[in-house]
Homo-oligomer: A and B are copies of this chain.
Amino acid sequence: MTDSTTSELGLVRTEYFTIDRLVLESGEVIAPVMLAYETYGRLNAERSNAVLICHALTGDAHVAGINAATGKDGWWDSMVGPGKAFDTDELFVVCSNVLGGCQGSTGPLSPNPATGEPYGLDFPIITIGDMVSAQARLIEYLGIEKLLGVAGGSMGGMQALAWAAKFPHKINSIIAIATTAKHSPQQIAFNEVGRQAILSDPHFDNGRYYDGKAPERGLATARMVGHITYMSDESMAEKFGRRFRESTSKQKFAADFEVAGYLQYKGDNFVKRFDANSYLYITRAVDLFDLAGEKELAATLAPVCHASFLVLAFKSDWLYPANQSRELVRGCKLAGIDVTYCEINSTYGHDAFLLEVNEETHLIRHFLHKILRESAQGLNNDEHH
- Using a CB–CB distance below 8 Å, which chain A residues touch chain B? 121, 125, 182-186, 188-190, 192-193, 195-197, 199-202, 217-218, 220-221, 224-225, 228, 231-233, 236-237, 239-242, 251-253, 255, 257-260, 263-264, 267, 280, 284, 287, 290, 318, 321
A242–B294 alpha-carbon span in the complex (Å): 11
Q: Name the contact of A193 in the complex, choosing from B221, B232, B239, B242 (C-beta under 8 A).
A: B221
Extra inter-chain contacts (15) besides given A185-B233, A189-B236, A221-B221, CB under 8 Å = A184-B236, A185-B259, A186-B228, A186-B259, A188-B257, A188-B259, A189-B224, A192-B255, A196-B264, A200-B201, A200-B218, A233-B321, A242-B290, A253-B280, A257-B287
| A241-B185, A252-B121 known; A225 vs B259 contact (CB < 8 Å) | no
Contact B237 A185 (CB under 8 A): yes
Q: List 18 A-B contacts (CB under 8 A).
A: A183-B242, A184-B242, A185-B239, A185-B240, A185-B241, A186-B237, A186-B259, A192-B259, A192-B260, A193-B221, A195-B253, A196-B224, A196-B267, A199-B253, A200-B217, A200-B221, A233-B321, A252-B280
Contact A236 B195 (CB under 8 A): no
Q: Note all chain B residues with C-beta closer than 8 A to A263.
A: 189, 192-193
Q: Closest CB of chain B to A65's CB: distance in Å?
A: 34
Q: Name the contact of A192 in the complex, choosing from B196, B200, B217, B224 (C-beta under 8 A).
A: B224
Contact A233 B195 (CB under 8 A): no
Contact B188 A242 (CB under 8 A): yes
A267–B121 alpha-carbon span in the complex (Å): 25
Q: Name the contact of A225 in the complex, choosing from B201, B225, B251, B284 (C-beta under 8 A).
A: B225
A255–B197 alpha-carbon span in the complex (Å): 12
Contact A233 B290 (CB under 8 A): no
Most B-side CB within 10 Å, residue of A185, A280, A318: A185
Q: Note all chain B residues with C-beta closer than 8 A to A186.
A: 228, 231-233, 236-237, 259
Contact B253 A185 (CB under 8 A): no
Q: Note all chain B residues with C-beta closer than 8 A to A202.
A: 202
| A233-B321, A255-B196, A318-B318 known; A188 vs B221 contact (CB < 8 Å) | no
Contact A242 B185 (CB under 8 A): yes
A189–B189 alpha-carbon span in the complex (Å): 17
Most B-side CB within 10 Å, residue of A186, A199, A240, A264: A186
A318 closest partner in B (C-beta): B318
A260 closest partner in B (C-beta): B192
A106–B121 alpha-carbon span in the complex (Å): 45
Q: Closest CB of chain B to A280's CB: distance in Å?
A: 5
Contact B192 A237 (CB under 8 A): no
Q: Name the contact of A228 in the complex, choosing from B190, B195, B264, B290 (C-beta under 8 A).
A: B190
Q: Note all chain B residues with C-beta closer than 8 A to A197.
A: 197, 221
Contact A184 B233 (CB under 8 A): yes
Q: Note all chain B residues with C-beta closer than 8 A to A185.
A: 233, 236-237, 239-242, 257-259
A202–B200 alpha-carbon span in the complex (Å): 10
Q: Name the contact of A189 in the complex, choosing from B193, B259, B290 (C-beta under 8 A).
A: B259
